[in-house]
Amino acid sequence: MLTLRDTDDGYDVDATIDSSLFALFAFGAFPADQVEVMNTMHAIEKRLWVRTSIGGVARYENDHYRRVSDDFHNVAGNPWFICTLWLAQWYVAIAKTAQDLARPREILEWVAAHAVPSGVLAEQLDPYTGAPRMVAPLTWSHATYVDVVLKYQSKYRELTQAHEARVAVDAISATKNAPRSGGKKRMYPGAVRQAAR
């Protein structure tokens, strides 16, 4: 991150990994699959994923807000639903095949598994017990979950329909070019020939 100073000689670089850097692609500043965004999002997952049985993404490195652990190596901060969902949103954005949606689906299932029995999502979780911390329900957590689910569904439809269309065109092309028993190519009415091109 860049921290602007009120001086004539520029800026100071703040190298803290912060989950809000997802905004680089989410707000359209850069494509989600641009190498710098890819590297940033991978760094967020690697350095902010809570390494306990609970999991989830912390807000930023060494986040002290309501933290329950001094183990900064394994717990950068308490896991937040929105931060974890931002990672899922990025995975949805870069998906090129339906199989690429496996990771965001895992994250969506993680969120559902860590909701309280009524379905309420808190602001953050205890990194060791998974108990809700702070505000519950938090509208922002719920809204982000719904947003990511909708993006996931849209991307899934887009990818599976594109795949089905390619399979259909390939099948038509293969049939069109297959020799008949007399060695001649099959001929189809014009509409089918146009669809196969």
Q: Hey, what domains does the chain have and what are their CATH numbers?
A: 2-156 (1.50.10.10)
φ, ψ of residue 106 in degrees (nearest 5)? -55, -40
pLDDT at 70 over 90: no
The alpha carbon dihedral of 110, 114, 117, 118 has a sign of negative
Three-state SS for 112?
A: helix
* pLDDT for position 26: 95
pLDDT tens profile 96-155: 999 999 999 999 999 999 999 999 999 999 999 998 988 888 889 999 999 999 999 999
φ, ψ of residue 132 in degrees (nearest 5)? -60, 140
* pLDDT for position 40: 94
Q: Output 162 or 144, whichever has higher pLDDT.
A: 144
pLDDT category of residue 177 using cuts at 50, 70 and 90: low
* pLDDT for position 46: 96
pLDDT at 165 over 80: no
Q: Which residue has the tokens 């990818």?
A: 159
Q: What are the counts of helices (DSSP H) followed by strands (DSSP E) for the chain?
A: 6, 6
* pLDDT for position 190: 43
- Cα–Cα nearest to 194, from 159, 160, 158, 169: 169
Q: What percent of the chain has pLDDT over 90?
A: 58
Mean pLDDT of 157-185: 68
pLDDT at 174 over 50: yes
Q: Output 172 or 31, whichever has higher pLDDT.
A: 31
